Structure 1
Amino acid sequence: MNLAIAHIDPAALMARCETTGVRIAGGEPEYEPGAVLPAGPWQPLTSDLAARLKPTAQTADSTLVELVRLPDGPAPTSLAALADPLGDPDAVHLGQAASPAKALTTTPNYQDGRRIGLHLDNWDKLDYQSKHTGRRRLCFNLGPGTRYLLLGDLDIRTICRTLYRDPVNRYPHTDDLRAYIASGHQIGVYRLRLEPGEGYIAPTELLPHDGSTEGQPQPSTATFWLGHWPRGVLPAIA
């Protein structure tokens, strides 16, 4: 499955998106061994690449990336309640995560504080055959600084099909992404800029991803939910 980013205006997507390849962390003490990182330098998104990112009629809502902004209207009674009217009564607020300024990637291993690089979520504990049906993550940037969403252009099921003769009984994991890159394969990474009040809905159980504040002088805080949302439940920013 190819990465699909919903957008109406290709120029608006191109204005906030760049791309590069990946590398394996090399002796960087702030990263886990084997962590997959953006290689840089970042290149502008071309019109051809923007066209390839366009969803097709076959793109399932559960696999779609959407760039969104906070909804219009009265503020919710609490931040946790923001997702209540979006169509999934069972959506879960995961809380907030503060990210320092100038971080190539943001997610730490909470056992020792080292960053894990591009990774897969596993909240839903899904096997290979079901991985594409997981809940999507809703995230908003609360500021004060700008941050980025990093997304790999290959989903973990495709990666597992390349690595393993019979992936059916596997539970795809970040280790599979690391093994794929360590064996000489490559993926593309897209960096999507999110200003305060902007966010995304993305299948983070399926796509390699992370946050980033690379090059940004201010820290930022992100807040997250998980849910099964239909496409188009929030205003789009691209």
Structure 2
Amino acid sequence: MASAGHPGMITDIDHPGLLDGLTLLLPSGAPAAGRVELSAGFLPASEAPCSTTYSEQAFVPRGPWRPPTCHERTLLYGRAAFGARPGDWIAVIPVPAQVLSAFTALRTAAAGGNEQTMRSLIDGPCGRTALVEAIRWAMTLSDPARLSVENPMFYSRTPVGNLTLTTGSHGQRVGLHVDSWHDSPLAARATAPNRLSVNLGHHDRWLLCVNAPLHVMERALRERGLLDGADGPRSGLGKRFMEVFPRYPVTKIAIHPGEAYIAPTENMLHDGYAQPHGQLDLQFCCRGYFRAEL
């Protein structure tokens, strides 16, 4: 049965609830209260505020947000099993003070909100020195058997209130999506490199994600006979899941200033969010085979 608001969307009569999927690892000793919230499901971006900034058929989280129930916390939080694959877990970790000190000038510029000043610093000696320190730290998080850091870079942008942050090559926001830098087949997505992202700004930013990895989404659709023609991990699978289960919750995880997340962005639907605050949202990102035993 199609919903009235979005032609082709299937009303999720058989709503699966929160599935047992990715394990969320939070900083040791840090309070979990208020760190994680769940949405009311997915919303076609065409029905959202600022819909003209989104690409066709994009999806965003549907409000309102709420704290997870006790049962949902049991499904979300845990400890990664020994030898867990990169695509099985998400971690939030503190960045050492000595590493953050290399970004002092960049963080000051972020507080000033001047994008031109920030770009000049990133492209100059200050940015290059900070980049080296960031890469060195990222290497200490890497699996010793696969010591590599791919595509290290800084991002800075001014949050303007959109429900998600990522903009595609076409200039429009893509909404919840799966990365495909390695373009792995579905069976190999859980072993693809994961992503390290450091919040270098002065305000919280949020990782938005679906806790069900791609193979769990695939199984949920296949068991209901709704997978045909949508098993492509690049975009088809995630889009079909959001169409079929529009009330499945998106998980929103707060990343405080001076914290980082490691996440399998090639194995899950995700995006970022930052509230408008007059400052730049500055982050360092790279990809690699980072360890769960942090």
TM-score of the aligned structures, taking structure 1 as reference length? 0.84
Count of aligned residue pairs for this structure pair: 231
In the alignment, is residue 67 of structure 1 matched against residue 92 of structure 2? yes
The aligned amino acid for 2:34 is: A
Alpha carbons of structure 1 residues 174 and 9: separation in structure 2 relative to 1, 3 Å: same
In the alignment, is residue 52 of structure 1 matched against residue 75 of structure 2? yes
Displacement of 1:216 after TM fit? 4.8
1:156-177 CA-to-partner distances (Å, cap 9, x unmatched) read 222233445788xx54122321
Structure number with higher helix proportion: 2
Kept in 1: contact 2:195–2:263 (CA 8 A): yes
Give me the whole-angstrom Cα distance separating, in 1, the residues matched to 2:35 and 2:263. Answer: 16
1:39-66 CA-to-partner distances (Å, cap 9, x unmatched) read 0111123333222212366582411110
User: Which residue of 2 is the match for residue 85 of structure 1?
Assistant: 140
Give me the whole-angstrom Cα distance separating, in 2, the residues matched to 1:85 and 1:12. Answer: 25
In the alignment, is residue 42 of structure 1 matched against residue 100 of structure 2? no
The aligned amino acid for 1:13 is: A
The aligned amino acid for 2:46 is: G
Q: Which deviates the most, 14-23 or 55-64?
A: 55-64
- Identity, in percent, stands at 26
Q: Which deviates the most, 37-46 or 208-217?
A: 208-217
Alpha carbons of structure 1 residues 198 and 182: separation in structure 2 relative to 1, 3 Å: same
Give me the whole-angstrom Cα distance separating, in 2, the residues matched to 1:10 and 1:138. Answer: 21
Pairwise CA RMSD: 2.8
User: Which residue of 2 is the match for residue 143 of structure 1?
Assistant: 201
Alpha carbons of structure 1 residues 175 and 222: separation in structure 2 relative to 1, 3 Å: farther
In the alignment, is residue 200 of structure 1 matched against residue 261 of structure 2? yes
1:1-238 equivalent positions in 2, closer than 5 A: 2-7=21-26, 12-20=31-39, 21-26=41-46, 28-55=51-78, 58=81, 60-62=84-86, 63-73=88-98, 77-88=132-143, 89-101=147-159, 102-111=161-170, 113-163=171-221, 171-214=232-275, 216=277, 218-233=279-294
Give me the whole-angstrom Cα distance separating, in 1, the residues matched to 2:201 and 2:180. Answer: 26
Give me the whole-angstrom Cα distance separating, in 2, the residues matched to 1:232 and 1:73. Answer: 21
Counterpart secondary structure, 1:206: coil
Counterpart secondary structure, 2:60: strand
Residue segments in structure 1 that go unaligned for 5+ positions in a row: 234-238
Structure number with higher strand proportion: 1
Displacement of 1:81 after TM fit? 3.0
